[in-house]
Amino acid sequence: QQALDWGLVNHVVPHEDLLHFTRGLAADIASSDQRAVRQIFATYAEGSLATAGDAWLIESDAAAAWQGRGLDAAEVERRRAAVVDRGRQQL
């Protein structure tokens, strides 16, 4: 609970619920925008091999590249609608 309070983790799960919870979390990730998920995982993988300071730079560079790659308004709207629909299905 202390790690959650300190913001080090985003969930605390009883041991007996851990497998069920992690499978649900994995399914949630798999149902997310895969282009974004792949980019995030690649950034994390690269950052895990770096020092903490360099990892921050890697993440900052990845965010700038993601945001500055030329946004197509129709594509942004399509992805936004997909996120909203996905969220509504989770209610």
pLDDT at 64: 87
**What's the rounded Cα separation, in Å, for the pair 61 and 1?**
33
Whether residue 26 sits in one domain with residue 37: no
Q: What backbone torsions phi and psi does residue 55 show, to the nearest 5 degrees?
A: -65, -40
- In the chain, the number of structural domains is 2
Instruction: Kindly report the pTM of this predicted structure.
Output: 0.60
**What's the rounded Cα separation, in Å, for the pair 22 and 83?**
21
Expressed as residue numbers, the domain containing 10 is 1-30
**32-88 tens-digit pLDDT:** 888 888 999 999 999 999 999 999 999 999 988 887 776 677 888 888 888 888 888
pLDDT at 70: 66
Whether residue 51 sits in one domain with residue 11: no
Whether residue 78 sits in one domain with residue 42: yes
Whether residue 48 sits in one domain with residue 91: yes
Whether residue 42 sits in one domain with residue 84: yes
**What's the rounded Cα separation, in Å, for the pair 64 and 54?**
15
Count Cβ atoms within 10 A of the Cβ of residue 7 and give its class: 0-12 exposed, 13-18 middle, 19 or more buried.
exposed
Whether residue 40 sits in one domain with residue 17: no
